[in-house]
Structure 1
């Protein structure tokens, strides 16, 4: 078990992607549970998916007096510099990114702007936070993705595996983030930890994710397409488990050490955060429709078989994602544990309240 060498109490934390799925849940947890914390949230509120969900997440965060929201893009270097100058964050959590594998095929510019230029701006701001003897950033935590494993044949996926074969631009930008963070940690001694998330789901999630899109279509009486003829497996990870992992990781920055060459070793680490239990997509969708019926989103007599179509794999997709979480367990005594039915039940309940029984 690692020692928690970064205290969150009384600190200023910058969270980018504040209106996003993981970012908003993380901020809620920090504001609720950490004494005297101040959280600065940044988000550009783009319309990649329905902004009403983003505004709904932000509305929940407004009740916290220790939260400040700034509408801005991390690709705007001047804005990021000004935020660091004004608030001097001790911990930075970069969740802002253009997400989505398939969208990256048709809209590559968005990925370069947000995931490459935006992350570079964050790294530069962290670098200059130490100028003039300032204490600077104690720990940079950033979102990577299971997509970096590409067509990796070995399962479960380990952070020790070579990941040089991305099959989408999205995956390539996430691998680039890890490489940039490594270089900056070596050059400027910035303690950084990358987190490879595995298929995150839950209430108020991203509408572009399969489980959300399936729900929309089934509710509208439309056919859903299940790729790779139903033979895909995904390591679905419930959002609360992801947040718990992030909060633990935030509190331990990689140790600063000197190597044999007399120069600092990279203060750099990467972890998988996944359920360590891949589920067949057909089974996942079957449980989903059961929970949607239970929540009243679909009628009791709903005939699921009529609305499913098994189709070939899509470009950029991979047949399986499966996380080896041994390091996360060893270092932090933590492993995601929320079962699929429990997680989907909570999503179905939220969906019913948000779209059908909205007060």
Structure 2
């Protein structure tokens, strides 16, 4: 999401190396005034140094790969807010309701869940501003289409990186953010095997940066953030409860989300940030992620291509607690509404602060073959199924949410079964893509 800035001319290095550089430039400067040729040499050295800095920044950013943090626009060498930009932020954050309105910063706003949550908040009259890096993990065109949808409803999505501390500070200085809905993350279980650095950069470093900005704000906002059902990892007890052990992650993605939960505890304990974590269970629906299995299956069924249906140990079908996007949005908004105020001031804790974690699922697992049956029904096309053993890539055989805590504290009540939800998804898919289905992409659950 944008690039991570280096504020020095060189990457940070131990003192001795920095001193040597300082002496070098000192010698060049002293010769600068001696002769014309020396001045030319000095200019050349400075130009060379500048070129090396540029090369360093470009190479270090490009190392992030497709899951990295360039936006779809030009690289942000130095963010400078303009009057037009500031006006867009203020207008987007202007609440329309008088009864306890919120001003919410939604990270990952051009993502699947982020788009739907932003629209729900704006519809009821809250102020909303988004931030998204538009990375190329899956087709950027879909993210841009979501951004355009949000713009039609008066929601401004900033094209930037959550690691850009200066930009985030600027937003907090322009408007008083009361809540942060932190949904930005590098998603997907299998992609972590190709680009692990992107998960650390976004899911850990990005989360810490959000917490750092929030802890320094005065007043501090309340934070709701997306963890994942993946944290249950190799847990075999079902349904998964928030009280179950989560110390056996099966993937790097899960490990970064588990790390995020521990980091959240730390910032709550030390700085008094009010933090609510949400463990999502296989979210699906219109405007969804193309890397998800239901999305990929739909694409390939329509193209007449075979689909891989994985089986677990003992030829057992995989099962997922598929949760429709509208139900997830209900849980997200309820979490914001019930979040207590943070208790820190100027980065210092003044009292105990709220810390919560909730499962948000449908609590009705469905096998993958049944999912395909439903897609066949609404696409009116027979799938070419290939049964494949589940590879050792971080996937788990099943998920099943215990949602009693969310039911009690959030009045969370999922209402959409898989058949109804997939019918709505297929209708959107055919409307959005028609016969022009997108390129091949990774598949996640």
TM-score grouping bracket, smaller chain normalisation:
0.7 to 0.9
CA RMSD in angstroms, aligned pairs only = 1.9
Is structure 2 residue 168 aligned with structure 1 residue 83? Answer: no
8 Å contact kept, 2:274–2:355: yes
Correspondence for 2:185: 97
Correspondence for 1:309: 386
Residues 11 and 79 of structure 1: is their aligned pair in 2 closer, same or farther, counting only changes over 3 Å?
Answer: same
| Alpha-carbon distance between aligned partners in 2 of 1:226 and 1:290, rounded to the nearest angstrom | 17
**Deviation at 1:120?**
0.4
Correspondence for 1:23: 114
8 Å contact kept, 1:31–1:64: yes
| Alpha-carbon distance between aligned partners in 2 of 1:208 and 1:45, rounded to the nearest angstrom | 15
**Deviation at 1:345?**
0.3
**Deviation at 1:81?**
2.2
Question: Unaligned regions of 5+ residues in structure 2, if any?
Answer: 1-97, 344-348, 437-445
Correspondence for 2:144: 55
Secondary structure of the residue aligned to 2:296 is helix
8 Å contact kept, 1:8–1:251: no
TM-score by length of 2: 0.71
8 Å contact kept, 1:151–1:318: yes
8 Å contact kept, 2:360–2:403: yes
| Alpha-carbon distance between aligned partners in 1 of 2:351 and 2:250, rounded to the nearest angstrom | 34
Q: How many residues align?
A: 330
Correspondence for 1:231: 317
Is structure 2 residue 282 aligned with structure 1 residue 199? Answer: yes
Correspondence for 2:296: 213
| Alpha-carbon distance between aligned partners in 2 of 1:111 and 1:86, rounded to the nearest angstrom | 30
**Deviation at 1:84?**
2.0
Q: Structure 1 residues 265-274 or 153-162, which shifts more?
A: 265-274
**Deviation at 1:250?**
0.4
TM-score by length of 1: 0.88
8 Å contact kept, 2:220–2:342: no
Secondary structure of the residue aligned to 1:353 is helix
Correspondence for 2:220: 136
Correspondence for 2:334: 248
Correspondence for 2:158: 70
Secondary structure of the residue aligned to 1:311 is strand
**Deviation at 1:357?**
6.9
Question: Unaligned regions of 5+ residues in structure 1, if any?
Answer: 1-6
Q: Which has the higher contact order (CA 8 A, sep 6+)?
A: 1
| Alpha-carbon distance between aligned partners in 1 of 2:295 and 2:136, rounded to the nearest angstrom | 17
Larger radius of gyration: 2
**Deviation at 1:230?**
6.0
Runs of 4+ in 1 over 6 A off after TM superposition: none
